[in-house]
Amino acid sequence: MKVTGDWIEGAGTQAVCRMLEWAGHQALFVGGCVRNALLDEPVDDIDLATDAHPETVMDLAVAAGLKAVPTGIDHGTVTIVSDHIPHEVTTFREDVETFGRHAVVAYATEVSHDARRRDFTMNALYARCDGTLVDPLGGLPDLRARRVRFIDDPDQRIREDYLRILRFFRFHARYGDPGHGLDPEGLAAAARHADGLSGLSRERITGEMLKLLAAADPAPSVAAMRVAGVLAVVLPGAEDRALAPLVHLERQFDAAPDSLRRLAALHPEDTSHLRLSKAQARRLDTLREEAAAGRAPAELGYRHGAEMGLDIVLLRAALLEQPLNSDPRPALSEGAAARFPVTARDLMPRYTGPALGAKLAELERAWIDSGFRLSREQLLQQ
């Protein structure tokens, strides 16, 4: 069986392959690029595994006239830029000793050793430079069945890095068969080790949760997280009851999956333990506040724009568990296009200071309540 695609046949990628193979080293594509290619999904990143040590990879790149960046050389990773495309080249590794997030790693010479330190069987698939599939652990049947399964002992894989608990749920949301539940052994192991997540950094937890919530339908995975006690650890007080209705409404009104909209639907008690950007935190606060405020779609469009307004309308309906029997998008668009015709200059010098702000707000309220129809002259007569 062979892996195919423009990404593997590209001149830049093949140049990296030749650089390693002509020097007598193995060069194997691994991980997401192989997995996604076999699933006929887009390949975003190109990773290779090799028996060449990172210092050797650096020297070979220089000799081949390619740019080499020691992005993770302490962990055996060098990024080779070829034809403007980054290729992460990592030396075969095996764990000698593991404890939580940290591990004592030794370089390996066999691909089977490298495969056994990975997380899931579907991520331990390799391909030679001509596309020939290399499956040292028999992960292909799991990939074909869209079954997310830990390699060997799930407890050991999780103890190596507790973030793998969240990756387990994320990968099921992204790649799992929606008609089947999560792997029972993996789910049980995730429940046993849920407390280990509390020792992870906020950045890592936030990144995984946002990726999970961006899946086409994360609701089954998040429900499983709740049952396993994982959701309570990463999002204290969160409830997933509104998530499935929100996904249904998103599909009904052609709204793309959105992590923050869905995070707001989970309604956690506190998100301060997450590492959100200032813009993300502001948007999340707006979603939660406006969903509770009850403004009409037209006003939401005026105040926040049609896209954000739709987010709020869908979120509110999901939280209230109410269907949307009419399409809010025309009203949202009308509001987004409306421009309040009165300015502060129009009211001066009759009004100044706080009185000016109060009068502007009063007239704006009247204008919104009129369906944006009152003219400037009509408003100034009030």
φ/ψ (deg, to 5) at 23 = -95, 5
Same-domain pairing of 19 and 114: yes
* pLDDT on residue 97: 60
Q: Extract long-range pairs of 363-366: CB within 8 Å, 24+ residues apart.
A: 364/340
Cα–Cα distance, 123 to 140 (Å, whole number): 10
Calculate mean pLDDT across residues 248-270.
Answer: 95
Same-domain pairing of 113 and 190: no
Beta carbons of 253 and 232 less than 8 angstroms apart: no
Question: What are the residues whose beta carbons fall under 8 Å from the beta carbon of 25, sequence distance 6 or more?
Answer: 50, 51, 52, 56
Domains in the chain, number: 4
| Residue 145 pLDDT grade (very low, low, confident, very high; cuts 50, 70, 90) | very high
Same-domain pairing of 1 and 70: yes
Same-domain pairing of 68 and 17: yes
| Full-model pTM | 0.90
Q: Is the pLDDT of residue 11 over 90?
A: yes
How many residues would you count in the chain? 382
Same-domain pairing of 84 and 52: yes
* pLDDT on residue 271: 85
- Supply the range of the domain harboring residue 376: 340-382
Beta carbons of 324 and 317 less than 8 angstroms apart: yes
Cα–Cα distance, 334 to 300 (Å, whole number): 10
Beta carbons of 80 and 72 less than 8 angstroms apart: no
Same-domain pairing of 350 and 318: no
Same-domain pairing of 127 and 42: yes
More reliable by pLDDT, 105 or 280: 280
Same-domain pairing of 152 and 139: no
Q: What is the DSSP string of 193-206?
A: TGGGGGGS-HHHHH
Q: What pLDDT digit, counting tens, does each position of 56-105 carry?
A: 999 999 999 999 999 888 888 999 999 999 999 999 988 666 554 555 56
Same-domain pairing of 122 and 158: no
- How far is the CA of 152 from the CAs of 103, 110, 116, 120, in angstroms? 18, 18, 8, 9
Q: What pLDDT digit, counting tens, does each position of 194-221 carry?
A: 999 999 999 999 999 999 999 999 999 9
* pLDDT on residue 33: 96
Cα–Cα distance, 177 to 165 (Å, whole number): 18
* pLDDT on residue 259: 98
Same-domain pairing of 120 and 46: yes
Direct distance between the N- and C-terminal alpha carbons of the chain, in angstroms, rounded to an integer: 77
* Whole-number percent of the chain with pLDDT over 70: 97
Residue 339 gets which letter from DSSP?
Answer: -
CATH (domain of 172): 1.10.3090.10
Same-domain pairing of 345 and 317: no
CATH (domain of 115): 3.30.460.10
Same-domain pairing of 245 and 301: yes
Beta carbons of 130 and 1 less than 8 angstroms apart: no
* pLDDT on residue 104: 56
Please say which residue of 323, 338, 353 terminates a domain.
338
Question: What are the residues whose beta carbons fall under 8 Å from the beta carbon of 248, sequence distance 6 or more?
Answer: none
* pLDDT on residue 98: 54
* pLDDT on residue 126: 97
